[in-house]
C-alpha cells in the first residue's frame, strides 16, 4: 500500500494526516504551539515552532504506523494565509513571523488604498486589509529598517516548511493570491505594485502550482523522521483553498459554508475574470487555473461560544441547541447580528458591534439560541448574495463544515436561508485532507483533482430547502439587512467612547 501525508500548519497547531490511495485517513497527529502577542494589535510566531511541531508530528506518524516509513510516497501542505516570514541571505528568519490576524498595519492599508486603491483591486482582486502580506512588508520597511536591509526573501508559513524539507524556496498561487502582490488573473507577480511601493523583485519567491513537485525530502531529515524511501514534496495550498479541496469544492455551482471561530462562505470560480470590486476576497484555487471567491464573518462560531459562556455556561452545546427546532423561524421576532468583534463581509467595519433586536418578555433561552444561529447564518448569506448578484451564480450544492454541520436543525436552517441544498461530510478532516489530495494528484495517483474528490470525499446527509421556510426567511433576512445601517452610528460612538 502507498500513502501520502497532508500537513496543515494552523495558527495554534500543526496537524498531520496519513492517507492511503482509497482516501482513508489512517493516522492523525498534532502538535500545539503558542501565539505571541507582545503588545496590543500584534500577533506573531517564531517559525522555529512550526519546524519543531513538524518534527514531532512526522515522528509520531511513523511510530504509530510503521509501514509509513517505507510506503509513504509524498507530502504536501496547507497553511495559514498571509503571514509574513522574512529570511536573510542564508534562509534564516530575521524576525518572528507577522501573522494573518495581526492588525498593526492599519496605517499601511490606508496608504495602499490612497495611493493605488483601484489599481490594487483591479490587479489583485482584493482590497488592502491588515491581514494581507503587502501591508506587513511595508510595516517592516518603515519600522524596522535594519531588518529590512537584511531581508533577501519572503515566504508564507507552509512555504517555509517546504523550504525546510527541500532547501528550495517557492510560493504557489493560492497563497500568493493572499499577499496583495499577485496579478491573480495572469498568475504573475505584479511588477507595477512592487514598483509603486519600492519593493525589490529579488525578494519575491518563484511561483509554482499547488501540485508541483518542489523537491524531495532532505535525506538527513528523512533519516531523522524514520523514512526509508525517497519522499516527494509538493507545494500545497492556502488553508481555505485546501479546505475547499477537502470538501469537494471543485466545480461551478458548489459553495462551502464553514463555521469555525470565524465563518467563511466560499464559492468555486471557473476563471479569474470575475470582478467583485473587492467586495469579497478573490483568490487562485489550489486546482490549476481555477479560482475561488470568499466572504468572511469575523465572529461566527465565536458568537455562539460567547453566548453560551455568558448566558448558559452550565450547558453543553448540544443541550443549548436541543430545543431550537421548536422555536419558530425568526425566533419569535428576535434578531441577532454577529458583529461582536466587528465585521468583514460585506461591511469591512472594525467598529460595528453586535445586537439583539426585538427582545420581548416572552423570549426564552431557546429563542436567543436560535436567534444567534440564525444571525450567524444570515451573515454568511450576505456573502452568498453578493456572489449571486455580482456573478449571476446559482448554487446547486453547499457543503457545510465546522460547528454548523454538527446539528441537523442548523443544517436545515442553512438550507432554508441559503435556498440551496446543503450537505455535510461523512468524515470531516479539513485542510489537511486537501493537502494530502494535492500530494496524491501530484504523484499521479489521479489525473485530475475532480477524480481524486470522487475517491476521497463523501457526503453524509442532504438537506433540501423547504419552500415555505424559504419565503419566511426571505422576509426576516430583509429586516436583518437593515440592522447594520440602523445601528452603525450608535455602535461607532460607543466604540469611540470606550477606546
Q: Residue 93 has which C-alpha cell?
A: 528568519
Structural contact between residues 358 and 374, judged by C-beta atoms closer than 8 angstroms: no
Give the closest residue to 99 by CA, choosing from 147, 43, 52. Answer: 43
Distance between CA atoms of residues 457 and 246, nearest Å: 7
Catalytic one of 102, 239, 382, 416: 239
- Among all chains, which residue has been given the C-alpha cell 457526503? 459
Residue 239 annotated to the active site = yes
Say whether 82 counts as a known binding-site residue.
yes
Q: Is the peptide bond before 75 cis (omega within 30 degrees of 0)?
A: no
Q: Residue 50 has which C-alpha cell?
A: 512550526
Strand (E) or helix (H) holding 104:
none
Task: State the DSSP string of 49-82.
Answer: HHHHHHHHHHHHHHHH-TTHHHHEEEEEEEE-SS
The neighbour count for residue 195, using CB atoms within 10 Å, is 11
Distance between CA atoms of residues 383 and 263, nearest Å: 10
Q: Residue 45 has which C-alpha cell?
A: 510566531
Distance between CA atoms of residues 298 and 82, nearest Å: 16
Distances (CA, A) of 196 to 154, 308, 333, 395, 479: 18, 48, 51, 39, 43
Q: Residue 171 has which C-alpha cell?
A: 510560493
Give the closest residue to 262 by CA, choosing from 64, 10, 67, 20. Answer: 10
Strand (E) or helix (H) holding 224:
helix 219-225
Distance between CA atoms of residues 337 and 303, nearest Å: 9
- Catalytic residue numbers read 239
Binding residues for substrate: 81-82
Q: Which residues belong to the annotated binding site?
A: 81-82
Amino acid at each position: 500500500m502507498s500513502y501520502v501525508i497532508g500537513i496543515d500548519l494552523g495558527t495554534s497547531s500543526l496537524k498531520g494526516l496519513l492517507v492511503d490511495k482509497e482516501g482513508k485517513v489512517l493516522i492523525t497527529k498534532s502538535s500545539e504551539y503558542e501565539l505571541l502577542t507582545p503588545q496590543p494589535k500584534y500577533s506573531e510566531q517564531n517559525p522555529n515552532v512550526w519546524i519543531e511541531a513538524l518534527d514531532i508530528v512526522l515522528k509520531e506518524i511513523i511510530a504509530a504506523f510503521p509501514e509509513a516509513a517505507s510506503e509513504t510516497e509524498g507530502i504536501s501542505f496547507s497553511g495559514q494565509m498571509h503571514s509574513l516570514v522574512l529570511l536573510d541571505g542564508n534562509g534564516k528568519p530575521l524576525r518572528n513571523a507577522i501573522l494573518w490576524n495581526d492588525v498593526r498595519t492599519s496605517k499601511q492599508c490606508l496608504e495602499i488604498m490612497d495611493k493605488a486603491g483601484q489599481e490594487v483591486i483591479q490587479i489583485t482582486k482584493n482590497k488592502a486589509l491588515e491581514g494581507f502580506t503587502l501591508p506587513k512588508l511595508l510595516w517592516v520597511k518603515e519600522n524596522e529598517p535594519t531588518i529590512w536591509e537584511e531581508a533577501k526573501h519572503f515566504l508564507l508559513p507552509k512555504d517555509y516548511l517546504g523550504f525546510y524539507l527541500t532547501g528550495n524556496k517557492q510560493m504557489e498561487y493560492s497563497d500568493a493570491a493572499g499577499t496583495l502582490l499577485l496579478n491573480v488573473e495572469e498568475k504573475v507577480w505584479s511588477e507595477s505594485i512592487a514598483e509603486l511601493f519600492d519593493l525589490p523583485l529579488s525578494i519575491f519567491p518563484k511561483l509554482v502550482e499547488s501540485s508541483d513537485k518542489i523537491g524531495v525530502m532532505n535525506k538527513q531529515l528523512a533519516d531523522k523522521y524514520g523514512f526509508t524511501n525517497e519522499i516527494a514534496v509538493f507545494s500545497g495550498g492556502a488553508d481555505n483553498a485546501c479546505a475547499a479541496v477537502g470538501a469537494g469544492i471543485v466545480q461551478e455551482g458548489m459553495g462551502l459554508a464553514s463555521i469555525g471561530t470565524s465563518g467563511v462562505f466560499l464559492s468555486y470560480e471557473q476563471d479569474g475574470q470575475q470582478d467583485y470590486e473587492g467586495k469579497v476576497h478573490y483568490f487562485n484555487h489550489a486546482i490549476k487555473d481555477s479560482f475561488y471567491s470568499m466572504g468572511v464573518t469575523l465572529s461566527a462560531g465565536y458568537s455562539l461560544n460567547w453566548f453560551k459562556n455568558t448566558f448558559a455556561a452550565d450547558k453543553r452545546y448540544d443541550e443549548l441547541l436541543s430545543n431550537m427546532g421548536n422555536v419558530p423561524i425568526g425566533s419569535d421576532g428576535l434578531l441577532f447580528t454577529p458583529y461582536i468583534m466587528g465585521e468583514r463581509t460585506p461591511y469591512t467595519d472594525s467598529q460595528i458591534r453586535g445586537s439583539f433586536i426585538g427582545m420581548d418578555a416572552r423570549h426564552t433561552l431557546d429563542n436567543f439560541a436560535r436567534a444567534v444561529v440564525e444571525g450567524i447564518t444570515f451573515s454568511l448569506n450576505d456573502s452568498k448574495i453578493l456572489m449571486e448578484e455580482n456573478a449571476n451564480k446559482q448554487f446547486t450544492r453547499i457543503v457545510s463544515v465546522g460547528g454548523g454541520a454538527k446539528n441537523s436543525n442548523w443544517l436545515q436552517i442553512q438550507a432554508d436561508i441559503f435556498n440551496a441544498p446543503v450537505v455535510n461530510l461523512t468524515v470531516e478532516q479539513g485542510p489537511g485532507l486537501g493537502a494530502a489530495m494535492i500530494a496524491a494528484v501530484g504523484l499521479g495517483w489521479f489525473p485530475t483533482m475532480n477524480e481524486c474528490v470522487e475517491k476521497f470525499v463523501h457526503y453524509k446527509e442532504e438537506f433540501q430547502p423547504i419552500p415555505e421556510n424559504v419565503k419566511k426567511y426571505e422576509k426576516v433576512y430583509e429586516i436583518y439587512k437593515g440592522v447594520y445601517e440602523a445601528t452603525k452610528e450608535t455602535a461607532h460612538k460607543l466604540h469611540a467612547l470606550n477606546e
